[in-house]
Each structure stands twice: as structure tokens, then as C-alpha cells.
Amino acid sequence: MTTKKIDATRFHGQELIDTPLLNKADAFSDSERTTFRLHGLLPPSVETIETQLERVKDAYQQKTTDLERHIYLRALQDTNETLFYRFMVENVTDLMPMVYTPVVGLGCQKFSEIYRRPRGLFISYPLRDSIDTILEAVSDQDVRVIVVTDGERILGLGDQGTGGMGIPIGKLSLYTACGGIAPEYTLPITLDVGTNNQERLDDPLYIGWRNRRITGDEYVAFVDAFVAAVKRKWPNVLLQFEDFAQNHATMFLERYRDQLCMFNDDVQGTASVVVGTVLSAVKVSGRPLSDQRVVVVGAGSAGCGIAEQMIQLMVEDGVDPKEARSRFYMIDREGLVLDTQQGLWPFQAKLAHTAADLAAWPAGAVPGKFSFLETVKNAKPTILIGVTGQPDIFTQEIIRTMAATVERPIVFPLSNPTNRCEAQPADVLAWTNGRAIIGTGSPFQPVPHDGKLYPIAQTNNAYIFPGLGLGILALGIPRVSDGMFMAASRALADANTGGDGSVPVLLPPLSDIRAVSRAIAIAVAKAAIKDGLVAAADDDTIAAKVDATMWNPEYRDYVAA
């Protein structure tokens, strides 16, 4: 066990116990209790972390609802971070849904109600001229990873205002639990620009700024000021944008990606994990990627991001760029996205079809438009992806129409939380007689069908961003390139063993997530070298740097500085 020097003049007594990053509770040794004036503040028994874990497990098991479990885990994190992460790492399959999707959605909706202790930074619009001063509040922290949200598009739940802070807190918990990034390097931030959610504004317990959302130039100037302040304070930080509205997500990605090391998880992270899972599904289907046709329902930033990365993947595999783009059909509220549609965002327009593209199709029921069902009938997709937040939009008719023209339909209803999923996996399997290859965004239990148990792959972004962050920190990568995400997708697919072949297994088990993150970190580092972002290094050096960066939740011996 390594020794960590603590400043006894600054951290001692109750202050040390009240510092979650340093607290060991009853595991402080007798010598530490003497040095840091802890005798009497703790009972006399000196415990191990293993003993503490037994107490934690017992308390956790007594919780009867998912919200109670979420609250308990957040309280444990705010009390003893090492113990919290040890519990997470050893039970990641069971605890990840409580810390993140799907339960974090409910946690965001009830954030003000269950609020106990501040964590991270809340930067509200009325304090827009004091952002530098606000960042100084954590001046003693070595911040290397920030997750920021403005709370406008939380999962499939919409505007949650300041309650959206649950997302950065949850994401950063996964950076540590899944990717081994030390918790003292992480900082969650919420940009409080108001909320248009009347229920939040009317809630007497709401902790955010009670104002309608700031929009337009004022809003953009505020985010610009935030990013500029971050660059001044932490020029080498990794900044992750999370759950911004679709038009803002893509705009800010293009606006800032060349200014600092940043990415948007909804656009790039979601695309990367979906592509990695699709690569596994394509192997199972027996049909090469170059022969796939894809319908994406939900033409927002996430859906278009998925399409663009899959197009890039096809091109890398030898498909002509124009041909690859023609294989994708984006569906929004008006049906198939066409170039004649008014109000398309630039990222949507690149994926819009022309009348000439569809000349062989019979006319739709509405002149000049094609519905979701009409698109499926005519395009004959082999892959169907949903990112709509609209439950049950993948109807029996849709799925059976698709399955009539493809032996192994690949169906990915990705919206979360669970009650926003486009289709239930059990229904999709039933409607396709067990032929469908399924991936979801939220966790589902394995589905019994025809005497077999089908595991349902959760295309959770936690398979991608922790490893990406680990690689960035390990090698000091200054920017995030598209090639890094593509490398992460391929590394994820390579990490999948495929099970015994009796049923489709598309992703490695969550219990292996740290090993997967390590493999992705190494792949990301090699991609960064290939893209000229960092100096060349051999494989052994890269692996050694990644391993040296990974933090493990173990108590350190403390000595006075």
C-alpha cells in the first residue's frame, strides 16, 4: 500500500472525516488517529475496508426502491469516496443502473427533493460575470475531467433545469468506477440558465434559478464565457458536454472542438458505443457491413451522430462514400428526412434524401412524404435504430415488415430510461421468432424465448467514455479526434467474446468493464499517435502509461506532510 502525505495542519479531526476524498472512517489506524487528532471522534475498533463493505452491503440490501438505493449510494459517495468506489467496482453490474441509467433519470426529476449535500459547481446565469471567481472555489483540486450540462435534454425526460446535475455526477462516477480515473481529478458542473419546465418552476423545493431559459445570443455568449474561463483555469482539461438540446449539442461541438480537449457524449459517445455494438451484431448476422441498410428513427444530434460514424465505418471498409451515405434513412416527426423539408439543421441536411434517390419508390400516402412504415417497406433495412424517447414506436407491424426481408434483423431501441424505450426486447424477439439481434440503451433482464435465454446488450456509453478519458489522461492527448472514437468502437467490438454462440452476445459483460476500458484507452492512444496529436510511443510504453494512470479504490496510509 502506498503512502499519501496529508497536511496535518489543514486536515485533522472532524474536518478530515468530513472530506469524502480522504475519509476512511473506522479504517484510520491508531497512528493516524494520533497524528490527525481522531481519537474520540471514532469508536476504538480499527476496521478494514472489507468489514466496512459488509456493513454497506447490508444497508444497501435493506433499501426497498430504486430511488432509495440511488439516494443511499449518493450519500455514501458524499461521505467516503474510496468505500463508495470499492462497492461500485466489486458490484458494477448491479449498481450501475442505480448510479446511472435508468435510475438517474428519476434522480434528476427529484434532484431538488432528495438534495442533501453540494457536489460540483452550479454556475447560474445571474453570475455570468463571476465565472472565473466561481472556478476558483475548487482551486486546490487537480481538475482533469469535467462533465458539464445545462439540463435541457436529460435522457428522454426533457428539461430538468438544475436537476440535470445528476447526469454529470453520475457520468463522472463511471469515469472512476469503470475507467479508473481518480475521483479527485473529476468535477461535475451545471450551467443554470433557467428552465422551461413549469413543474420545476412551481416546485417550492426547486434549488435552481427560477427563470425561463435564456436563449439566443445571450445563451451562446454565456457558454462561450464558461468555456473561455475553463481554458484559462485548466487549459489541459478534458471537457465533456452532456445532455444539451440537439441543436446546441452539435453547434457547441463544432464551435469548441479545436479550442480544447472536448467532446459531446450524446453525439460522439453514443455513436461510438452503438457502432461498436453494431460491429458485433453484423458478425452475428453473417451479412457484411458493406451490405447493410440502416433506418435511424430520431434525426437529432444523437441519431445523426450514429449515422455519420457508421458511414465512416463503411467507407473505411471499402464502400464508396456516396453509396455509404445513400444506405441511411433518417426518420423524424414528419417521416423520412428529405432535402425539401424546411428548417433542417446542417447536420440533418447532410443525411437528407432527394426525390431522385427515391424515384423507384411508390408515392406515399401524403404527397412528397414517406412515413416510418413506408420507409421500412421501401428501404428494406437490415438495421433499425431508435433514439426518439418515444416508447413503443417500433410496433409489431414495423418489426414484422422489416423481418420479412432480412433473416437476422438488427434492432436497437436505444432510448432511456427504460420506460422511453422504442420497443420491449421480449416483443421484438416474439415478433421475429427469435431471429432479431437486439441492443438497447437501458438495462433489460435476459429474455426467455423458445427454450433459450437471450441476453440483451445494453449499449451504454459507459463502455466508451471512461476508456477514452483514461487514454487521454494517460498520454496527455490535447484534442479528441474522430479517429479516436472509431478506434474505441473497434476495440469494444474486439473485446466481445461472443459467448458460446447459442444466442447473440454483442458486448462484454459489465463485470469486465475495467479491462474493456483499458483496451479502449490503449486503442485511443494509438489513434491519437496516428492522428499526430501526441508523440509516437511503442505498445509497451502506452500500456505502462495507461496502467500507471488507473486508480484503484484502496485506502492509503496517511502521514503528515
Give the whole-angstrom CA distance, residue 46 versus residue 33: 10
Using CA atoms, how far residue 394 sits from 292, 312, 391, 526, in Å, is: 19, 26, 8, 39
- d(CA 92, CA 86) in angstroms, rounded, equals 10
Q: How far apart are CA 414 and CA 401, in angstroms?
A: 20
Please count the helices (runs of H) and the strands (runs of E) in the chain.
Answer: 24, 16
The residues pairing with 5 across neighbouring beta strands, listed in sequence order, are: 559
242 is in an annotated binding site: yes
What are the φ/ψ torsions at residue 82 (nearest 5 degrees)?
-65, -45
CB environment 150-188: b (16+ within 10 A), e (fewer) = bbbbbbbbebbbbbbbbbbbbbbbbbbbbbbbbbbbbbb
Does 243 appear as a known binding residue?
yes
Query: Beta strand 238-241 with 145-149: parallel, antiparallel or unpaired?
Result: parallel
Tell me: is residue 416 an annotated ligand-binding position: yes
Q: Rounded distance, CA 485 to CA 527, Å? A: 9
Is residue 5 helix, strand or coil?
strand
Q: Is 200 annotated as a binding residue?
A: no
Kindly report the three-state secondary structure assignment for every residue of 188-224: EEEEECCCCCHHHHHCCCCCCCCCCCCCHHHHHHHHH
* Catalytic pick among 24, 60, 85, 100: 100
Are 464 and 269 a contacting pair, CB within 8 Å? yes
Q: Is 58 annotated as a binding residue?
A: no
Q: Residue 203 in contact with residue 112, Cβ under 8 Å?
A: yes
Any binding-site annotation on 266? yes
Chain centre to alpha carbon of residue 9:
39
Does residue 60 have an active-site annotation? no
Cβ neighbours of 343 (radius 10 Å): 5
Q: Which of 110, 171, 526, 545 is catalytic?
A: 171
Q: Among this protein's residues, is 171 annotated catalytic?
A: yes
Place of cell 430510461: 417
CA dihedral 19, 135, 153, 111 (to 10 degrees): 30
Annotated binding residues, as ranges?
A: 153, 242-243, 266, 416, 460
Annotated binding residues for a divalent metal cation, as ranges?
A: 242-243, 266
Annotated binding residues for (S)-malate, as ranges?
A: 153, 416, 460
Q: What amino acid positions are annotated as catalytic residues?
A: 100, 171
